Every structure is written in C-alpha cells, then in structure tokens.
Amino acid sequence: MSDDQDQQLEQKDIFNPRVIKKGIMYFMVISITTMTAIFLYTNTGKTLEIWSKIDLKYILLALVITALDILIGGWRNHIFVRELYPGASQWIAFKANLANVFMGAVTPSQSGGGIAQLYIFYKNGVKLADGVTISFVNWISTLLFLPLSGLIAYNIISDNIPSGFITHLAKFGFSVFTTLFVVVIVALIFPAAIGWLVKKLSYVLGSINNKWKEKLIKFGDKASESMVDYRNKCTGLLRRKPYLMVLSFLITVILYLNKYLLGYVIICAFGVEADFWVIVAIQAIVYLLLYFAPSPGGSGIAEISITGLMAGILSEDYLASFTLLQRSFLVFIPAMIGAIVVLKEINKKTNQTLPVLSSDA
C-alpha cells in the first residue's frame, strides 16, 4: 500500500455533510414510516398497557448489552491496533468502530461504514494498509460466523418461520454470504484472478464503449495489485501472530451472541414466556438478512423482517413494541453515539497535523 493511497484517503471528503444529512433523512423517514405502518397494522389498543408494565430492570440490562456491543466492537479492532502500534490508545479503535456504525446506518448497504473506519484510523496515525488489514481480517471473521450461525438458527426455527417472503429472504441471505466468502477466499489465494476477470469483462464491455474498456483494464490491474498487497499484509501479520485470526473470530462470536441475546431480554421485559434458543435463533436470521440490506442501516427491511419473524412467537400486541426496542438498542442508540464522533471529526481543522504512530509491522 503506497503513500499515494494514504494521500488519496486524506483528500477524500469522507464525512460530506450533505451526504450525511441526506442519509440521515432517508434513514429516519424509512424507519419512522415503516414503524408507523407496523404499529397501525398490529394495533390492538393495548400498546400503552404493554409499555406501562415493562420491567425496567430488563431495560437497564438492555442498555448494558448496548454498551457491551460498542465496547466489544471496538475491542475487536484494538487487538490488532495494539499489535501493530504498541502503546496506542484504545480510544482509536473505539472511535473507528463508532464511526463505522453511524456511517453504516446512513449509507446504503452499510457502504460508508468501512471507509469511515479506515479514515478514523488514518486520522489517528494508523496507516491505510494497516487499517485495511484490521478491517479485512475482522470482515472475514464476520463472513464466516454469520452464515454459520444463520444455518444453525434456521434449523432451530424452521417450523416457526412464516412461509413465504421471509423464508426466501433467509435463504437468499445465506446464499449471498456463502458466495461472497468463497469469492474472498479464492481472491486471497489467487489475487491475480481478480484482475484477469475484470480485464476479460473490459473486453466485452469495450465493444459497447471504449472508455469503459480502458477504465476497467486499469481497475483490473489495480485490483490485482491491491489484492496481492492485502494478502501479503494479512498473511504476514497472521504468520507472525497466528492467534489474532482465532481471537478475531472468537470476539466476533461474542459480539454477535451479545446482539442476539438482546431479543430475549426484551421478551423478558414484556413478561412474555418464550423459548430462549428460538428467540436467539430469530435474531441470528435477522442479522443474516440485514448485513447487505440495500437501504441505509437496513431501515424498512429490518423492521419488516423482525416483525415477520417474530410473528410466530409474539402476539400482535407486542410485535411493534418489540421491533422498536430491538432497533433502538442495537442501531439507533449506537448510531447516535457514533454521530458524535463523526461530528467532532467534521469540526476538526482541516490543516491539523496528523499524529504518527510507530508501527512494528
């Protein structure tokens, strides 16, 4: 990874206020509209009664789970930062994670989250190549865990999932994850294949537009070179410290099990009896569905999926309230905290000197 790429990242307007405002608007409008529709569709006149009887100790426990979600997500980054930059503050990794959460919530398919994380890393002295390595290894852990947990979850609740659209979504989510994981592994083993495939595509599209052909050939060369760099950086780090991959996966497991647990805690807050593993399994399916959801933060799709999957467990009285609380604790609250990090970044002087951390990598 060259210094030119570091400079390109520095010059990018990652936190464009106009884009962020538009993303927040779409996220809020879609979320509010969907939640309103769910409340109206499932309305039985008992919503206020349900909220008046909520057990507050479980709401406090839900807040603890939210805090743990933020801390564990940051720690998953920090296990790499502390190895690459001994003595670096843990706050760097936590800020990067929070920026990821916020920008993922206001951009389609969470596309802005990863870039925001890399930018926060870079602005705090972590080289782009190292930031990519950290993000890439953690992403591999996620790609491995989510379909695995989704497959186990589907077998647990296959009889409880309403047939139709939600079932097809669950199968589609599993297929996307499995395919992407295979593609990533093949790309790591044979990085030149990426460039070759893009070049072949460029010749096909070149017959339509010569400009596309030239751009795609350049992209293919760059993609191949970048994949080689990523592979060498990742394998070099993991050869020296092989336990990091294992630790990343274990922390990923803990991170998502903590998220899954929230659903059962909300059920307990309502005073409703339900099978623990069925509730946890439903949350696993939800996350499998939402990871590549095209709307900002999965808005709309998330609310419909949660309501649809929980319909076989909860009565209509509780569906809208459960969905609102689940989204609030694991998306709305962390995103608001992440917004504070991003706002501080936007308000920083553009001519500030970047800190430089010494790397042993």
Q: What are phi and psi of 25, to 5 degrees?
A: -65, -50
Mean of pLDDT values over 192-219: 66
Percent of the chain with pLDDT over 90: 32
Residue 308 tokens, joined? 């649809």
Per-residue model confidence as pLDDT tens digits over 87-136: 888 899 999 999 999 998 888 877 788 888 988 998 888 888 888 888 88
CA dist., res. 338 & res. 131, Å (int)? 18
Mean of pLDDT values over 20-45: 87
* DSSP 8-class letter at 187: H
Query: What residue ranges do the domains of the chain occupy?
Result: 3-171+242-347
* DSSP 8-class letter at 55: -
Give the pLDDT band of residue 351 (cuts 50, 70, 90): very low
CA dist., res. 145 & res. 164, Å (int)? 25
Which pLDDT score is estimated for 353? 45
Give the pLDDT band of residue 160 (cuts 50, 70, 90): low
DSSP 3-state assignment of 15?
coil
Least confident window among 15-19, 94-98, 101-105, 216-220: 216-220
Residue 53 tokens, joined? 């009887």
Residue 154: count of CB within 10 angstroms of its CB: 19
Mean of pLDDT values over 331-346: 89
Per-residue model confidence as pLDDT tens digits over 228-241: 676 777 777 777 88
Query: pLDDT averaged over the chain?
Result: 81
161-170, 282-291, 340-349: range with highest mean pLDDT? 282-291
CA dist., res. 107 & res. 203, Å (int)? 32
Mean of pLDDT values over 32-42: 89
Give the pLDDT band of residue 64 (cuts 50, 70, 90): very high
| CB contact at 8 A, 332 and 10 | no
First to last CA, the chain: 13
Position with higher pLDDT, 350 vs 275? 275
**Predicted structure pTM score:** 0.83
Which pLDDT score is estimated for 259? 96
Position with higher pLDDT, 169 vs 55? 55
Torsion, Cα 24 26 32 37, to 10 degrees, reads -170
Q: What residues form DSSP beta bridges with 296?
A: 108
Least confident window among 40-44, 85-89, 225-229: 225-229
